[in-house]
A and B are shown apart, each in its own frame.
Chain A
Amino acid sequence: MNDTLYLAWRYLVYHRIKSAILVLAIALIVLIPAVLQVLVRQGQQQLTSRAVTTPLLLGAKGSPLELTLNSLYYGSGVPEMIKYGDCSDVAYTENVDAIPLHVRFRSQSAPIVGTSLEYFDFRGLSVQEGALLKRLGDCVVGANVARQRGLSAGDSVISSPESALGIADEYPLKMRITGVLASSATPDDDAIFVDLKTAWVIEGLGHGHFDLSDERAAENVLSRDGNKITANASVRQYQEVTDENIRSFHFHGRRSTFPITAVLALPEDRRSMSMLLGDYQDNDTVQLVRPVEVVEELLQTVFAIQNLVLTALVLTGAVTLLLVVVVFVLSLKQRAREIETMAKIGGSRGRILGVLATEVGFVIVLGVGIASGLTWLTTIFAPQIVQQYLMG
């Protein structure tokens, strides 16, 4: 038995390039559908688990998919904004909690998520280093953001201007990092979290500047009418919240009209959920969606595409397998003299067939082994791969 294995192995090693190509072909036939399956399953799991734990989502009328992708996975498409008053309406509903979300701005590629402290409890996010938000201008960064940018508590990040020309109302804000979140293998790892009020400061609805009744502000004042001062837009605004200037930060306008992208609505039981869904059924301006239904719809599309891809891969694999068989058959013809020599030196027919079959077995076992190993590695890193390349 050992000599059969030895001869087969030596043959493969001698023809290493041909053997490697065959092993690779077998590995790819197995690997590609398997990896695809693992990644799709992981993607499905990640999408579904986040959607399942998010009962209801309130957002502007429009695409439920865009609303869900922005609110749950911080996708780059920003849905139409709704008013903060809509969040208060949900919060005032009996047995329903509401968490506002403002996912519009970014710091480099990381989404800046404006929300309330309840969000961290709701998602089960804990701080690995430092502390949660304390004041205006503070932020906590996700584990991946901290690792990729080498950030830790005490450092700072700057919000990126939304428009390339920088002519919009928003101002880049330098934010103090108060903490780094522990990894949760969710889109939260790639986000930067701020207080909703800080998001409004970035939006230009709140700001800090020196006292306009001060003499230094004379050049910025358009008019003074009794106790009413009208300033021009050139008033120098602070781009960082510090101990010295924090008291000067203020907001213009009514809070209830300030924008948010969505509200996470958390009913305490199914009855409250049904009642809330009923309340918003005929609303003209906002929609209340069940993320799990939106994601299931998306996944059905993904599965349909996956099935097409798998069919194509099975066909490709079958063709490749046929080619491998052809290679083996041709190889047998080429090796006629070698087989004849083996017979002449006393090799029985069974032993010769055994050597040839072992060669094929080695190729198949190696190919499948490599494919299995890589599939196993993919399974281990699938959460990160899906996070990084599919949902990022």
Chain B
Amino acid sequence: MSKTRTIFAAVLCFLAVAGCTKVNWSKTELKRARAKPIVIAVNYPLAYFAERLVGTMADVRCIVPVGEVASQWNPNEEDVSELQSADLILLNGAGFASWIESVTLPPSKLSVTTRGFSNDDFIAQTGAVVHTHGPKGEADDANLVSETWLDIRLATKQIDVIREEMLKLFPQSRDQIQTNYDDLLADLEKLDGETDRVVKSLAANWIASRGCYEYFAKRYSLDLKSYDLRADEAVNSQRWKLVDQDVKERNVKAMLWHEQPNKEIQDRFDQLQVKVIVFCPLLKVPEDGDFLLIMNESIHNIAATSE
């Protein structure tokens, strides 16, 4: 009998102490325990960075299906459900994935990886249309260039944010995450140094098929102008006229393409003595390879041109 009383008293004491230190309404207590946390990124580079940091500790996914261009993709209701069930949703910021504005996601699970950027880090789109309605403010249009990861220094800032979030998810794996972080940064530093060396060796003025290379150009101080050209579509004469004029005026020697252009376009640039360089901006989830491999391949393409 006395033993039962002792146990009962101990339980009461425990409950009293627990009641004093922890508040019942804590939302943390409401979070459901899951075997493996789910981390979803809105583009492939973020998913790659996250996976490098946590390895198999989390189920890291990119919400955009393989083969789809992330900046043009829109989620269906199943995708929204998948996002809602995630433990962490990594957003790129800088106007990337404007569909976020029109779906319902839990703010506590959202992490904008560009939140550590200064205003000077962002690049405004040239020629973006904004509108107002009378006295109201300008529409919150996505008028920033979004492909921030192409500037490795900015990508590193994004990785810092991802590491911060991962440490919250896996506080017990701090050392492992730090080791992975150091490895990833070492890889990126190497990539950055190699890119700098290769780009400088080319010593040329550039044009690009898309505006997505703005951050890349800023990082390596490239004199680059973007044209909205499609690799598989004929370029109209007016656009050719502008390109011709630009090539002559700035003595352009190289052009970055998001994918290999068709023969007609390739021939025309050959005539202009502008070297076509395929540089994948990683807007799609790659079927083969990973971020580093593909970036190295692109750098290799630039290096091959300079040789």
Contacts and interface: CB of A to CB of B under 8 A. Distances in A.
Interface of A: 53-55, 91, 97, 116-118, 121-122, 124, 131-136, 138, 195, 197, 212-213, 222, 227-233, 235, 241, 246-247, 249-255, 266-270, 273
B101 A97 contact: no
Contacts of A195: 104
Contacts of A252: 132-133, 136-140
Contacts of B141: 250
B137 A268 contact: no
Interface in B77-93: 77, 80-81, 84
21 contacts: A91-B108, A97-B27, A132-B84, A132-B104, A134-B103, A197-B104, A227-B128, A229-B132, A230-B132, A233-B133, A241-B102, A247-B74, A247-B99, A250-B140, A250-B141, A253-B140, A254-B137, A266-B25, A266-B27, A268-B27, A269-B21
Nearest to B137: A253
B107 interface: yes
A197 B127 CA distance: 28
Given A135-B80, A250-B101, A233 B26 contact: no
B172 interface: no
Interface residues of B, number: 38
A270 B81 contact: no
Nearest to B143: A227
Contact of B30 (A121, A131, A213, A232): A121
Contacts of B106: 116-118
Contact of B23 (A118, A131, A134, A273): A273
A261 B24 CA distance: 25
B102 A235 contact: no
A135 B74 CA distance: 12
Contacts of A134: 77, 80-81, 103-104
Contacts of A136: 101-104
Identify the interface centre among B99, B136, B141: most chain A CB within 10 Å of its CB.
B136
Contact of A229 (B74, B105, B130): B130
Contact of A246 (B102, B104, B131): B102
A246 B98 CA distance: 11
B140 A269 contact: no
Interface of B: 20-28, 30, 74, 77, 80-81, 84, 99, 101-108, 127-134, 136-141
Nearest to A194: B104
A53 B99 CA distance: 34
A133 B103 CA distance: 8
B26 A266 contact: yes
A54 B141 CA distance: 36
Contacts of B133: 230-233, 235, 252
A80 to B, nearest CB: 21
Give the most central of B77, B80, B133, B138: most A CB within 10 Å. B133
A160 B84 CA distance: 29
Contacts of A53: 24-25
A69 to B, nearest CB: 19
A229 B129 contact: yes
A251 B133 CA distance: 11
A268 B26 contact: yes
Contacts of B131: 212, 228-231
Given A91-B108, A229-B129, A273-B23, 12 more contacts: A54-B25, A97-B27, A118-B108, A134-B103, A135-B77, A197-B101, A233-B133, A241-B102, A251-B140, A253-B136, A253-B140, A269-B26
A233 B80 contact: no
Contacts of B103: 134-136
Nearest to B107: A116
A267 B107 contact: no
A51 to B, nearest CB: 11
Contacts of A91: 107-108
Nearest to B21: A269
A250 B100 CA distance: 11
A53 B25 CA distance: 6
Nearest to B128: A227
A195 to B, nearest CB: 4
Contacts of B108: 91, 97, 116, 118
The 10 tightest CB contacts between A and B, nearest first, are: A253-B137, A133-B104, A117-B106, A229-B131, A195-B104, A136-B102, A251-B140, A97-B27, A252-B136, A268-B26
B139 A251 contact: yes
A221 B189 CA distance: 50
B38 to A, nearest CB: 15
Contacts of B21: 269-270
A194 to B, nearest CB: 9
Contacts of B128: 227
Contact of B107 (A118, A222, A251): A118
Given A227-B129, A229-B130, A254-B137, A117 B26 contact: no
B94 to A, nearest CB: 15
Given A131-B81, A135-B80, A252-B139, A55 B25 contact: yes
A54 B26 CA distance: 10
A230 B130 CA distance: 9
Contact of A213 (B77, B129, B136, B138): B129
A247 B102 contact: yes
B104 A269 contact: no
B101 A249 contact: yes
Contact of A121 (B27, B77, B104, B139): B27
A249 B102 CA distance: 7
B127 A117 contact: no
A121 B25 CA distance: 11
B20 to A, nearest CB: 8
B23 A268 contact: yes
A117 B84 contact: yes
Question: Which of B21, B80, B99, B107 has its CB near the most chain A CB atoms (within 10 A)?
Answer: B107
A139 to B, nearest CB: 10
A122 B107 CA distance: 14
Contact of A231 (B22, B99, B105, B132): B132
Contacts of A133: 104
Nearest to A220: B133
A117 B110 CA distance: 12
A135 B132 CA distance: 24
